[in-house]
Amino acid sequence: MNPVEASRPGPFTRLRPVATAIMLGVTVLGATLPAPAFAKGPASLADLSEQVTDAVVNISASTTVEARSSRTMPQLPPGTPFEDLFEEFFNKRGGRGGGGGGNSEEAPRSRKSNSLGSGFIIDASGIVVTNNHVIGDANDIQVILHDGTKLKAEIIGKDSKIDLAVLRVKPTADRPLKAVPFGDSDKMRPGDWVIAIGNPFGLGGSVSAGIVSARGRNIESGPYDNYIQTDAAINKGNSGGPLFNMDGEVIGINTAILSPTGGSVGIGFAVPSNTSKQVIDQLREFGEVRRGWLGVRIQNVDDATAEALGLKGGARGALVAGVDEKGPAKTAGLDVGDVIVKFNGTAVKASSDLPRIVASTPVGQKVDVVVVRKGEEVTKAVTLGRLEDNEKPQQANLKQPDADNAVRQALGLNLSSLTDDLRKRYNIKDGQKGVVVTRVDPSSNAADKRIQPGELIVEVGQEAVSTPADVTKRIDALKKDGRKSVLLLVAAANGDVRFVALGLD
């Protein structure tokens, strides 16, 4: 593990500390600037800080790996005039065993890297919570209490998807530990005051205050993003530290910042307590996380897709683009083209909501899943399976159309029935059925939606098609029904499918 902060793609940054210089005595020349306006907060946060500070800890994680030098002495012909000179040079610098042992490589050397972060105690028996990225693959972890006491920690369990880790330490008889409780993150509203306590830049326990800026943030860092955004100053080294409400309850675990500079610019993100609690409970009980699994591949529903599907209430839900043949959804009767709008009583507003809701549902639980199918709501009872890390959803079976060699043009697409020659030309997977796209008008909406030659049109308006004539006939029928867009089920040559909505101009 590199002690230097590892950055996410783009401006999002994990909060590990790096070495930094503190600039003092900087003077701004020029006109006097007005003082910035700040929201008026509580008169003092000192009592709250004193109440919870002893439960916040620093985390020191060290990783020791063996590094072997690959330096070798150049192979010189026997009797070379400078052979003795090269031999002496490399022996002095550790080559050939560093001591003239005649080996071409050095003996293994240990290389140690360190990381600092934050955490907090949730059980006085010695249970500590932090971020997974703070400890990484460390083989030596120390929890440093507020008074400087160092306790060796062992890992109970960790979860990379939510970026959490649970540690255990053994408290000493003369130094009992103080724990802090979790609060209800769902009760937090934008504008509520919060404080963050942690170890920014390795400086030690520091307190900062701010408000909840937003909830439910998706920063595309993982499959279950649902962050609390705050403007409380959090920096590298605050990772794993708690975000408290005004009652001294942990309502978030600080994990990321949005920053072009690497320091706080007032946009930080914390894992909500209600997302964390179930994961932490499972890590404590099983040493791993056991998530529910539905067995579908989904995509988002935009306005054009909603209109093409006749989805009342506008764009919402998660569109099923693939169904695992061995998954719970297949057994329950869910199908490609269904729009999941409610899961176990919880509304699915966007496709990103569904993985998080399903994952938080216990394995083996029977739930009702409400889908919109051809404009009508249908309820299916599904018994959830268990999500495996290497699970790869397969695609739903597609109806097999008859062959036809006619070529038609529609929606800016040149279409052809699937032949052996076309299957070979485009390397189309055996068993794939549909109408082949042979050309895409570069000025068409289809080109904008990235439909490519060699892909297959499998369904038009949720009806299977087998010939170009089927495609044009279905489009004409949709136009007569007053539809302004058409939903295509498009399959790539390798079998992956997706839905594409195109306007009917």
Q: Which residues are catalytic?
A: 133, 163, 239
* Number of Cβ atoms within 10 Å of the Cβ of 182: 19
Q: Decide: helix, strand or coil at residue 260.
A: coil
Q: Which residue type is seen at 243?
A: L
Phi/psi of residue 436, nearest 5 degrees: -80, 135
Q: Facing residues of 164 across strands? A: 159
**Residue 461, both tokens:** 């308006």
* Residues 414, 271: Cα–Cα separation, whole Å: 48
Residue 260 CA, distance from chain mean position = 20
Q: Which two tokens stand for residue 498?
A: 């997706």
Closest to 412 in 3D by CA, of 381, 437, 386:
437
Round to whole Å and give the CA distance between 208 and 5: 21
Task: Say if CB 141 and CB 83 are below 8 A apart.
Answer: no
- Local structure of residue 268 (DSSP, 8 states): E
Neighbours of 98 (CB within 10 A): 16
Name residue 409's amino acid: Q
Answer positive or negative: Cα dihedral of 73, 79, 80, 86.
positive
Backbone angles phi, psi at 450, to 5 degrees: 65, 35
50 phi/psi in degrees, rounded to 5: -65, -30
Are the beta carbons of 265 and 13 closer than 8 angstroms? no
Q: How far apart are CA 393 and CA 409, in angstroms?
A: 33
